[in-house]
Structure formats: structure tokens, C-alpha cells
């Protein structure tokens, strides 16, 4: 099992939170947990152990979230949909 997906999630968390002390730990049975390096140099366990996909979802939910990027085309489409919301379909004869 590759852990690139999990390590990338931790790197994104470090950037979002500004805390470079987060670390990913992989257990002998293939589970992952989040840890944080303390001033004393000891690793403090931050989360329980998860399967890889659950770990990634957990890490992605932590820290400040970055707003989704919206293109001009997406904005125009949303505006178009909002304009149609009040219009009623023409009656068929």
C-alpha cells in the first residue's frame, strides 16, 4: 500500500495551518495516525489510527479550509441558473 496520498494530505495540512510540526506515522499493520512534534522532541499522537482513505479524510477536515476556486465560466453558469429559478415553464397546448 502506498502512502503518498496520506503524506500529501499532511503536507497540505502543514501549509494550511502554518504548523510544520505535524507528522504522519504508519503502524506495522498499515494504519496511519497524525502526530505532532513537541518542544521536547517527543511525538504526541493527535489522532487514532485510521485506514488510509479515512486518514486522508480526517486530515483534510483539520485546520483552516481553503475556499474552492470558481472560474468565470462557473460564475456565469450559476448566474444563469439563478435567473431561471423564478421563471415558470411555458404551458404546452
Per-residue pLDDT tens digits for 23-77: 999 999 999 999 999 989 899 999 999 999 999 999 999 877 777 778 888 888 8
Q: What is the mean pLDDT of residues 4-23?
A: 92
Contact by Cβ (8 Å): 3, 9: no
pLDDT at 7 over 60: yes
The pLDDT of residue 82: 85
Helix axes 4-17, 52-61, angle to 10 degrees: 10
pLDDT-derived band at 93, boundaries 50, 70, 90: very low
CA dihedral 54, 57, 62, 64 (to 10 degrees): 180
Amino acid at each position: 500500500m502506498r502512502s503518498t496520498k496520506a503524506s500529501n494530505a499532511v503536507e497540505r495540512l502543514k501549509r494550511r495551518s502554518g504548523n510544520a510540526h505535524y507528522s504522519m506515522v504508519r503502524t506495522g499493520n498499515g494504519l496511519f495516525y497524525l502526530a505532532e512534534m513537541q518542544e521536547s522532541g517527543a511525538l504526541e499522537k493527535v489522532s487514532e489510527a485510521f485506514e488510509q482513505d479515512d486518514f486522508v479524510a480526517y486530515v483534510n477536515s483539520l485546520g483552516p479550509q481553503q475556499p474552492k476556486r470558481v472560474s468565470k465560466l462557473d460564475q456565469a453558469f450559476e448566474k444563469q441558473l439563478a435567473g431561471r429559478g423564478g421563471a415558470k415553464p411555458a404551458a404546452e397546448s
